[in-house]
């Protein structure tokens, strides 16, 4: 009796030293088939980094099991099944919190016809001379296969995005985002059936970028929601005006447009303050004058009063050009706009030439 109790105590002690066990299987939920012979990796977070502790293959019935002294109750971990070169990750799990773990995997496809955007959020904020843009996408894959795009690894091209030229400080918060050609970018994360989220951000130089921002839909989009800070623009009828909201201590003017089709473009008025708009227009005018060899110094032949009037008139012309450009932002080919702008430009150039040294 004493010997039997001693043996039981030894077994229990060894079990505590060895730790818990993680058991589960890999499944295709559409076919209900369990997948044999594929790698399953075990991950933990340590010192802010995700580390792979070990990797095993599923058995003939799709089962996997991990055991070891490091598997103590309460340890947080993650799993990934690698099927057809695509990783399928679990959520964050806890040792001892579940008896069986099911990892779902899918066949893959390069057919994008099942991809649509549920909601595409665009946040624009004016920061000194830079426009900050944050984009969040809710992507729906309506097929029963993972959309894998083309290519492999870091160079895989999956979710396509049309972004403006001249952007800088591009950062992806949900995978690698790389440029294929001018204005054409791709995320490299495969899209399993169901919903996925992608997010990224970038900046535009407000001194070089002219309003409006043109958003181009690549996939059918149920709803485009736009948040503008500061909230100081006039909303055109094509947008739904959803009023002023506050997020993260900032006020945004929220507008929306629905049911976008592939290749459809939306002109979005950027939240540039009038003073900045005028300074940008002046910078453009100055560049045009200098390119034509016109000096911007004032003539000594003018009296102080005439010089002041000339400066005031020039500033007025600059403001008129800025307002005109804003009014016809969506109609740059309008004949009335072209004629009126040409008239203002001629007067501005003539005035500057008259003031040159």
Q: Which residue has the higher pLDDT, 230 or 216?
A: 216
Domain boundary among 83, 105, 127: 105
Q: Which of 257, 198, 255 is nearest to 222 (CA)?
A: 257
Mean pLDDT (whole number) for 311-322? 71
Domain boundary among 250, 268, 286: 268
Six-digit token string for 43: 């991950």
| Number of domains the chain is built from | 3
Same domain, yes or no, for 59 and 140? no
Write the pLDDT tens digit of every residue in 98-107.
889 999 999 9
Per-residue pLDDT, 19: 60
Q: How far apart are CA 221 and CA 260, in angstroms?
A: 5
Is residue 5 in some structural domain? Answer: no
Residue indicated by tokens 């695509």: 86
The CATH number for 37's domain is: 2.60.40.1120
Is residue 316 in some structural domain? Answer: yes
Strands (E), 165-239: 168-172, 177-181, 184-187, 194-205, 213-216, 221-229
Is the confidence at residue 169, as pLDDT, over 70?
yes
Same domain, yes or no, for 25 and 98? yes
**Residue 23 belongs to what domain range?**
16-105
Q: Which residue has the higher pLDDT, 195 or 314?
A: 195
Is residue 231 in some structural domain? Answer: yes
pTM of whole model > 0.75? no
Domain boundary among 213, 239, 268: 268
Predicted confidence band of residue 329 (pLDDT cuts 50, 70, 90): low
Same domain, yes or no, for 213 and 81? no
Chain center to CA of 260:
18
Same domain, yes or no, for 127 and 249? yes
Q: How far apart are CA 287 and CA 290, in angstroms?
A: 5
Is residue 344 in some structural domain? Answer: yes
Relative orientation angle of helices 304-327 and 274-291, to the nearest 10 degrees: 110
Per-residue pLDDT, 155: 85
Six-digit token string for 35: 């997948």
Signed CA dihedral, 256, 257, 258, 260: sign only: negative
Same domain, yes or no, for 164 and 121? yes
Is the confidence at residue 161, as pLDDT, over 90?
yes
For 9, the 3-state DSSP assignment is helix
Is residue 307 in some structural domain? Answer: yes
Helices (H), the chain: 2-18, 274-291, 304-327, 335-355
């Amino acid at each position: 009796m004493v010997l039997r109790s001693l043996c039981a105590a030894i077994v229990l002690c060894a079990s505590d030293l060895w730790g818990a066990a993680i058991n589960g299987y890999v499944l295709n939920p559409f076919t209900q088939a369990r997948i044999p012979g594929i790698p399953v990796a075990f991950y933990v977070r340590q010192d802010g980094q995700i580390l792979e502790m070990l990797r095993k293959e599923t058995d003939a019935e799709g089962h996997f099991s991990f055991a070891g002294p490091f598997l103590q109750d309460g340890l947080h971990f993650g799993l990934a099944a690698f099927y057809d070169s695509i990783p399928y990750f679990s959520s964050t799990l806890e040792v001892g919190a579940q008896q069986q773990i099911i990892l779902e995997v899918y066949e893959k496809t390069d057919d994008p016809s099942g991809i649509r955007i549920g909601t595409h959020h665009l946040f624009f904020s004016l920061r000194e001379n830079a426009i900050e843009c944050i984009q969040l996408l809710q992507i729906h894959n309506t097929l029963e296969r993972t959309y894998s795009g083309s290519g492999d690894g870091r160079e895989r091209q999956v979710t396509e995005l049309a972004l403006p030229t001249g952007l800088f400080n591009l950062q992806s918060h949900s995978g690698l985002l790389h440029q294929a050609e001018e204005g054409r970018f791709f995320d490299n994360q495969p899209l399993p059936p169901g919903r996925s989220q992608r997010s990224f951000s970038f900046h535009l130089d407000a001194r070089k970028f002219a309003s409006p921002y043109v958003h181009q839909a690549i996939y059918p989009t149920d709803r485009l929601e736009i948040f503008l800070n500061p909230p100081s623009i006039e909303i055109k009828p094509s947008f739904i005006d959803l009023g002023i909201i506050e997020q993260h201590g900032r006020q945004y003017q929220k507008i929306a447009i629905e049911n976008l089709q592939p290749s459809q473009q939306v002109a979005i008025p950027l939240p540039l303050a009038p003073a900045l708009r005028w300074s940008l227009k002046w910078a453009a005018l100055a560049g045009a004058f200098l390119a034509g060899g016109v000096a911007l110094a004032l003539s000594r032949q003018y009296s102080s009063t005439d010089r002041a009037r000339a400066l005031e008139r020039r500033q007025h012309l600059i403001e008129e050009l800025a307002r005109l450009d804003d009014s016809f932002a969506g109609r740059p080919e309008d004949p009335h706009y072209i004629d009126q702008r040409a008239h203002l430009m001629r007067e501005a150039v003539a005035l500057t030439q008259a003031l040159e040294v």
